Amino acid sequence: MPLVFVPTPLGNLRDVTLRALDVLRDADLIVAEDTRVARRLLQALGITGRELWSYREQNSASVTSGIIERARRGLVAMTCDAGMPAVSDPGSDLVTAARSAGIAVEVLPGASAAFGVAALSGFSLRRFQFEGFPPRAARARQEGFAASLREGVTSIWFESPRRIRATLADLAVVAPDAHVFLVREYTKLHEQQLLGTPAEIAAGLIEPVRGEIAFAVAPYSGRNAGRKAPAESDADGAIDALLAQGERIGNIAKRLARRGLGRRADLYERASARKAAGKAPVTSAETGRR
Average pLDDT per consecutive 10 residues, the chain (290 residues; last block may be shorter): 92 94 97 94 94 91 94 95 86 91 94 93 94 93 94 96 95 93 94 95 92 95 49 74 87 78 80 79 40
| Domain map (residue ranges) of the chain | 3-107, 114-276
pLDDT of amino acid 216: 98
**If residue 117 lies in a helix (H) or strand (E), which one and from where to where?**
helix 113-121
Residues 6+ apart with CB under 8 A from 45: 13, 16, 21, 24
Give the three-class secondary structure for 116. Answer: helix
Q: Which amino acid is at 201?
A: I
SS3 55: coil
The CATH code of domain 3-107 reads 3.40.1010.10
Instruction: Report strand pairing: 192-196 vs 213-217.
Output: unpaired
Report the pLDDT value the prediction gives residue 120, as an integer from 0 to 100: 95
Spell out the residues 6+ positions from residue 274 whose beta carbon is closer than 8 angstroms to its own: 236, 239, 240, 243, 280
Beta sheet of 29-32, edge-to-edge order:
52-54, 29-32, 76-78, 3-5, 105-107
pLDDT for res 51: 96
Instruction: Measure Cα distances from 153 to 118, 216, 217 in Å.
Output: 12, 10, 8
Does CATH place domain 114-276 in 2.40.37.10? no
Helix (H) or strand (E) holding 39: helix 35-44
